[in-house]
A and B are shown apart, each in its own frame.
Chain A
Amino acid sequence: MSESNEREKAGAPAQSAVARAVKDPVSRRKFMALTGGSAAAAAFLAACGSDSGTTTTTSAKPAGGSETAQFGKGDIGILNYALTLEYLETAFYADVIKSGLFKGAELDTIKKFGEEEAEHVSALTAAVKGLGGKPAPEPKTEFPLKSAKSVLELAGTVENLGAAAYLGQAGNIQSPEVLASALAIHSVEGRHASALNTLLGMPITPDGAFAKPATATEVLKSVEPFIVS
């Protein structure tokens, strides 16, 4: 696939690994295991000592949240980036509910998570407006909804990615109020990820005792296949 070749040429193998992983949960687990490492405490220390140590990718990381500059300046850009992801999650759960693939307790869980993502959309929209920014538009999305199992796996992947996305931005946020809101959402995404991993019989903490962040570049590449426009 030429797209993936281009990425390899661009010297960002970690990104294409993430993109592949989204489509293939087995390789995703391998990827997590690979990046999770065994010396988690050492990774934690490294994270405290140098900023580059907090990323899972080998690609160069632009400084100070400029990765989200396409969504706006500073905190507005970060909030709009988060808003785009929350729109995507909300649309995903809405599609899953409509698909009729789930019933009973699993459907209840999906509905609950979908409602919470919708609340995140409302809160982030209000936060962007509060800072005088223009909220990012709702993207048009499309998700492969083939079987209950593959949908749960995709849900798990999306939630784990969402949690990593918030974690990746925590240090870039300037306003303590915006940070408090982002942290309140971040832990909810972590809860969703853990519950879905439990349903899937996967480890609740795939990165071990210290969750790994993801850069905006990594996250946006991963969700690209689901954004139509």
Chain B
Amino acid sequence: MSHEEIAHPELVGVEVVGDSGDLSRSDVILKGALAAGAVYGTFMVGPYVRKALAMTGSSDVDILNFALTLEYLESTFYDEAKTRAKASGELKSLIGLLADDEKQHVEALTATIKKLGGKPVAEPKFDFPYSNTAGFLKLAQTFEDTGVSAYNGAGPMIKSKEVLGAAGSIVQVEARHAAAIRLQNKEEPAPEAFDPSLDEAQVLKAVEPFVA
């Protein structure tokens, strides 16, 4: 697949900028995950994340910090969207619900990282490229599908049974969000029976140019 055939062009414009200009490792993996989604589609995010975490010998705290970075992105995105997405009615309520869920994920992950003796990553700054409700919905769908794939990809790398159970309870909620947003977009809520996994090395190579 060439770069001319970008699967999710809306992801290419998403900016992730670390606190005071420094990118944490989690920021870098998130950027790579978004790039993998942009180039190959959101289902490729899982294999990318698994590979990236495996290559750097990640602890459960590292994985939770990556998840926290992803949740920061979603939380900021929906919080902003309350006004910026120009939504009304059912969609407005949905945005409120999603913002609340993602905020709770941020809080829970932060608390869990501290409980495990780790240091929660700083919240990066994000820039989301959309200008209307349709643009918001398209990006929301891509983020939620990306989130599902990212958690599913990270899952098998988690060492603690308890952390895995907790991550599982979050990913199911992300999947539920994804389906609801897809229905708003008049798309299949569950487009595939599984997250297909393709060649991981191929994905890593493809996303390299996108990762700072």
Which A residues are within 8 Å of any B CB, using their own CB? Answer: 40-41, 44-45, 47-51, 54, 109, 112-113, 115-116, 119-120, 123, 163, 167, 170-172, 176-177, 179-181, 183-188, 190-195, 197-198, 204-205, 207-213
Contact = CB atoms under 8 A, between A and B. Distances in A.
Q: How large is the interface on B (under 10, 10 to 19, 20 to 34, 35 or more residues)?
A: 35 or more
B175 A44 contact: no
A41 B172 contact: no
B162 to A, nearest CB: 5
B168 A213 contact: yes
Q: Which 10 A-B pairs give the minimum distances between C-beta atoms?
A: A190-B175, A194-B176, A195-B189, A119-B193, A211-B172, A209-B104, A187-B175, A191-B190, A194-B179, A171-B161
Contacts of A184: 46, 152, 194-195, 197
A192 B155 contact: no
A41 B114 CA distance: 14
13 contacts: A45-B112, A113-B190, A171-B164, A180-B50, A180-B197, A186-B171, A186-B175, A187-B148, A194-B178, A195-B179, A197-B176, A209-B102, A211-B176
| Interface residue SS majority, chain A | helix
Contacts of B178: 191, 194
Interface in B62-104: 97, 100-102, 104
Nearest to A177: B156
B115 interface: yes
A67 B148 CA distance: 28
B104 A171 contact: no
Contacts of B188: 112
Contacts of B161: 51, 171-172
Nearest to B178: A191
A191 B189 contact: yes
B186 to A, nearest CB: 10
Contacts of A198: 179-180, 183, 189
Interface in B135-155: 148, 151-152, 155
A188 B108 contact: no
Contacts of A48: 112, 115-116, 160, 162-163, 165-166
B97 A205 contact: yes
B172 A163 contact: yes
Contacts, number: 177
Nearest to A119: B193
B190 A195 contact: yes
Given A41-B108, A192-B190, A186 B168 contact: yes
Contacts of B2: none
B115 A211 contact: no
A184 B148 CA distance: 9
B19 interface: no
A205 B176 contact: yes
A49 B105 contact: no
A115 B148 CA distance: 21
Contact of B195 (A45, A179, A187): A187
B45 to A, nearest CB: 12
B57 to A, nearest CB: 15
Interface in B26-46: 46
A195 B180 CA distance: 6
Given A47-B166, A209-B105, A204 B177 contact: yes
B179 A204 contact: yes
Contact of B165 (A109, A171, A185): A171
Nearest to A49: B162
